[in-house]
Each structure stands twice: as structure tokens, then as C-alpha cells.
Amino acid sequence: MRTMSVLRVVVLAIVMLALSLAPRVARAAEEPEAFARVVVDAAELRSGPGISYRVIYSAQRGETLALDGRPGAGFWLQVVLPDGRTAYALGDEVQVFAVRPGEPEAPSRPGIFATPPLEGAHGGLAIVAGVLSIPILDGTTRAFGYIEARPSIVVHRTVTLEGFIGDALTADGAQILYGGGATINFAPSWSVCPFLGIGAGGLSVLPKADSFILRREDLYVARAGGGVLMALRGRILVRLEVTNLTLFDAESFKNAQTYSGGLGVYF
């Protein structure tokens, strides 16, 4: 009986708390949000509140950026970039305004997903892991665990030059895949950006002395595939990719595939 009384008191307290918080939540949802619109041809946004800090983003006339709620220093305003980073804008180059949620064509703040950080980037690195499916000594196809590093140079936001070096995880020896190529990003302004890549390189199979699965090989590789980049705040990317490998030398020819996913970053 006492338990039921305590339970009723707890439920009543929760209901009373919810009723007291509801008006505050409603008012918070209706609070206007502050944004800054660029009023010059190009505004250089910096990593800190001063011209001695490096430029990390160039905003064009009419572009709208969210104020992050904390004041800058002097004539500088702290804003949130489309990829979720914080930057500083000179107050004379932007016009501050407020909008209420739900207004027609109201700008929005960056969410969990953001624009891929390809604009203005110079290089990048991705670490992916997955499966290498490849023919083995007896002619059958076997899947091995696989890990790969992919450094890149950003030529343009739609084109990157990439290297790759990977290793199949097997107790029978090492299968080292290496080379380079180019990747085309088809929607660099979308938070989910599809891409296609081509490349070439080599595969060195280094079996252990007692391995009955692998044999010593050095093969040429032609590589083609594609996938998607999913951009998160903070310039972090989730990379999902499938590639086909054509492996050959003067005497043999075979196909293999990689299925991988991982994280990357551009800088």
C-alpha cells in the first residue's frame, strides 16, 4: 500500500514538472535566432578574432552564417561555418539579423550532417577497413579482413588525387596492395556525396613458409570503384566504398574486390 502511495507521488511530481517546463520549451522554440549575412563581395573568415589569424573560409556576398551565441572580440563576430567549424567575421563585412523558426525561407544552423569540407582543402587522409575478396592458391575465392590508408591531394573540390596502401589480415602471410589514382566527387556541396575512382598499382603476396593458401606473387593492379562520402560536423567524413581489382602479370589474370568503410578528414 505504501509502495502505491509513493508511486502516485512520483508520477504526480513528474506530471507537475512537465507542466511547468512546457511553457518554457514552447517559448524557447519561438525564440528568434541570430544570423549574419555577408554584405561585401567576399568576406575572409578567420580562425580567431584578428587579421593575424589564418583564413579558413571565404564567404561570398549574400551567404548566410549562423552566429554561435558567443560574442567575439572587438569588431569580430563568432559564426558557425557550413561544415560546423567556428570562425570569426569582421563586423563591417556582415549584417546581423534575426529570424523565428518556421518563417518562410528562414536559414538554418548546421546539424549533424554538413557540407563536405572539400572547398578550400589541400589534402586529406582516410582510414578504412573491410573485406578483400580474392582468388587463392586452389582457385577458389576467399575473403580476408582488410585495412587501408588513403592519403589524398585536393586538386579541386570535384577532383582529388589519392594514394592507397593496404594489407589483408591473414595468418598465412601478407597481401600488400598499393598504388594511386584519381577520384571524382559528383556532388561536393551535398552532405552525402557520391564518388567514382580509378587507379593503378601493384599487389605483393608474401606467404609464410608453411602456407597452403597463398603463394608468392607480384601482380599489377588496375582499380575502379565508387561509393559515398557522408560529411559530419567538424570536417569528419564517413567513407563507404566498393572497388574491383584486376590483377595480372605476364602469365595470369584474375579479379578481386574490396568492400570497406571508415573515417576520413580533409585539411
For residue 152, the one-letter residue type is: S
Quote the strand ranges of the chain, DSSP E.
Answer: 33-38, 42-46, 55-60, 64-71, 76-80, 86-90, 94-99, 123-135, 141-156, 159-170, 173-185, 192-207, 217-232, 236-248, 253-266
Max CA distance (Å), the chain? 87
pLDDT at 16 over 70: no
Structure confidence by residue, pLDDT tens digits, 81-127 = 877 788 899 988 998 888 776 666 667 676 777 777 787 788 999 99
Set of cell numbers at residue 90 = 569582421
Domains of the chain: which residue ranges?
33-99, 123-266
> DSSP per residue over 29-65, as a string?
HHS-EEEEEE-SSEEEEESSSSTTSPEEEEEETT-EE
Into which CATH architecture does domain 33-99 fall?
Answer: Roll (2.30)
To the nearest whole number, what is the mean pLDDT of the chain? 84
pTM: 0.72
Residue 103 C-alpha from the chain's centroid: 30
Q: List C-alpha distances in Å: 253 to 77, 93, 139.
A: 61, 61, 12
- C-alpha 109/C-alpha 92 separation (Å) is 22
CATH classification (class only), 123-266: mainly beta
pLDDT tens, position by position, 19-29: 554 444 444 44
Instruction: Check pLDDT > 70 for residue 189.
Output: yes
Q: Which of 22-31, 44-53, 253-262 has the highest mean pLDDT?
A: 253-262
